[in-house]
Every structure is written in structure tokens, then in C-alpha cells.
Structure 1
Amino acid sequence: MSVDTYWTKVAAVREALAEAKPSTAAEVIAILKEHDPMTVHLTGDAFYSGSGDGGSLAEDLEAAGWRYAWAEADHYYVIRHEGTGEALTYIEGDVYAGDSRPR
């Protein structure tokens, strides 16, 4: 995959999230799996490559009602949807359904 193709796919992920305004973890994960260029060697339920161009999963989902529930750093946080209560954990690009912060 060329670099141009990679960044075109990253832009498509961000556009798909903005357009769909997902309210569940499953919806977010489905969009990431369909559009994100990183599809192999995943450790999470999906991967978000948008941070490579200055994006943030939390920022990309803010308009859809997702808010920070907890943050250790800009690369390790939990966001929760204000309507459904569903959560996503983001760790250095890996995205997991649910709240996986340390207790």
C-alpha cells in the first residue's frame, strides 16, 4: 500500500465516524474494521490510525456524544457515550470495547 493510499484510508475512517455518529462500541469497532488501513496483527478489537495525522478517536467521536471518562495520557484513555453509557478504551491506537482502565 502506498503512503498516499494509507492516508486516504485514514481520512475515510475519520469521515465515516463523523458521518455515522456511532453511539455504541460495536458501531465504532465496525467502522474501524471496515475503513482503517491497519487490519493485521491487532491486539484490540480494532485499530484507529487517525492519530498519525494529528487526529484523536475521542475528538473524532465528540460530535457523536462520546466524552472522556478517564485519561492517563493522550494515547491511553476511556471514552463513554453520554446517551448509551457504552465505553471504549484506547491504548496507543488499539481500541477495545468497554472500560479497561486499571482498577
Structure 2
Amino acid sequence: MSDPFWIAVEDQLHELTAAKSADDVIKILSKERNPYGHECIAGDGYFGGSGGDGTVRESLLTAGWETVWWRAGYWYAMKAPDDSMITYIEGDIYRGDKRS
């Protein structure tokens, strides 16, 4: 795979396997590192690689995170080993539990 977009996505997924806090996830998926550009992000971070081979959830499970709640593959919350949390909503990453 030589497409710069997918290379950036794979790098982010790999880095997420070592994320131990919400801060780590937000840094890895920061607006500045978004392969689409940062002007289209609503959350604290964004994962542009949905539809690819890996997922944020799979990478975070590898890093020791646990699922707090799950509505669908595009809407869920996870808790880090340090007890901080993120909510994933259609690629946008929000700090904390954004259930409502």
C-alpha cells in the first residue's frame, strides 16, 4: 500500500495499540494528523480510516481498553487503562462518555 492516506491511517492504528489514555488517543488522532485535513473535524480528534482493514476499537482493545457501551460500529465508548474515556461517533473522537 503506497497511498499516503492509507499509510497515515495504518500508522495511527499501530500507534493506538499502545494508547493508555484518552489524551494518547486524542494526540494520535489529532486534527493536525487527520489525513483529510483538520477543517472537517467536529470532535477532539478524528479517525479517517473507517472502511479500511483496521478499526480504532480493535487497536484500543489490543492496548488494554474495554468497551463501556456499544450502539453500533460507528457509536461506542471505551475506557482506558488509566480510567479515562473516549466516545467514537462516526469517526469523531470525543473525550469522555457522550452517550446522549
TM-score bracket, normalised by the shorter chain, equals 0.7 to 0.9
Contact 2:9 2:35 in 1 (8 A): yes
Q: 1:65 to 1:15 in 2, by over 3 A?
A: same
**Matching of residue 25 in structure 1 with residue 16 in structure 2:** no
Contact 2:26 2:45 in 1 (8 A): yes
RMSD value, Cα: 1.7
Q: Secondary structure at the match of 1:69?
A: strand
Partner of 2:71: 72
Q: Secondary structure at the match of 1:68?
A: strand
Aligned-pair distance for 1:50?
A: 2.8
1:87 is aligned, of 73, 85, 93, to: 85
Contact 2:13 2:55 in 1 (8 A): no
Contact 1:89 1:99 in 2 (8 A): yes
How far apart, CA to CA, are the structure 1 residues paired with 2:34 and 2:59? 14
* Counterpart residue identity of residue 68, structure 2: A
> 4+ residue stretches of structure 1 with deviation over 4 A?
none
Q: TM-score, normalised by structure 1?
A: 0.84
Contact 1:75 1:91 in 2 (8 A): yes
The structure where helix makes up a greater share of residues is 1
Unaligned runs of 5+ in 1: none
Q: TM-score, normalised by structure 2?
A: 0.86
Aligned-pair distance for 1:31?
A: 1.0
How far apart, CA to CA, are the structure 1 residues paired with 2:39 and 2:51? 17
Using the TM superposition, name which of 27-36 and 91-100 deviates more.
Answer: 27-36
Unaligned runs of 5+ in 2: none
Q: Secondary structure at the match of 1:53?
A: coil
